[in-house]
Amino acid sequence: MQPRVTDYRTLIFDCDGVILNSNTVKTQAFYQAALPYGQTAAQALVDYHIANGGISRYKKFAYFLEQIIPPNQPGPDLTTLLDRFAQHVHQELLTCDIAQGLPQLRQHTANARWLIVSGGDQAELRQIFTQRHLATLFDGGIFGSPDEKSTIVERELNQGTIQHPALFLGDSRLDHQVAAEWGLDFVFVSQWTELKDWAHYCATHRLPVIDQISDLLNPNVILGH
């Protein structure tokens, strides 16, 4: 029998593309941050970012400087790139769309613990979620980089914050891989994803798909394996 959302003790949400319509915000910020190195380099960073959804900005900018930019080319260092990125992102995160149905789903799953496990900067996430009156929904915590998603999930499992059965809701390959690594059920959220071949990927891995978070309020939605 397929589980219902109310059967889970823990719900784990990615942020960008799942809770917030912020994938394009982040993509544009990567481009703008890297632009001092030229349009070609900035686009190469964007391509790498989209192909590696869910990985932290720290790793992406480090890859940019180590693998994309020729040695000794003058330009912003890692700290400056991160600062430029954060400046572009912050205001947009305060105004981008929020997934519909979150308060209703929180009430519907009152017995479950909610967590954010994101590739976004943890301090930034906590500030944005507080300012947008979302933080109180996530009683299990709001977690992000520089810790990797797999590290966060392992730590919170060990601490008992994540309890099985648990469901991970994400919009990237990495989200699915982390869920599989730690024995979590997974549902792909497609509405705002930047994963270009998401339909093929989900079909290949036989993943349940919803368009948006509010779909979980529909009792006919199929979850789990």
Give the global pTM.
0.88
Q: Class of 5-21+98-217 per CATH?
A: alpha beta
Chain mean pLDDT for the chain: 94
- pLDDT, mean of residues 12-16: 97
Every domain of the chain and the residues it spans: 5-21+98-217, 24-93
φ and ψ of 11, to 5 deg: -115, 125
User: Tell me, what's the pLDDT at 224?
Assistant: 56
pLDDT digits (tens, 9 = 90+) for 92-124: 899 999 999 999 999 999 999 999 999 999 999
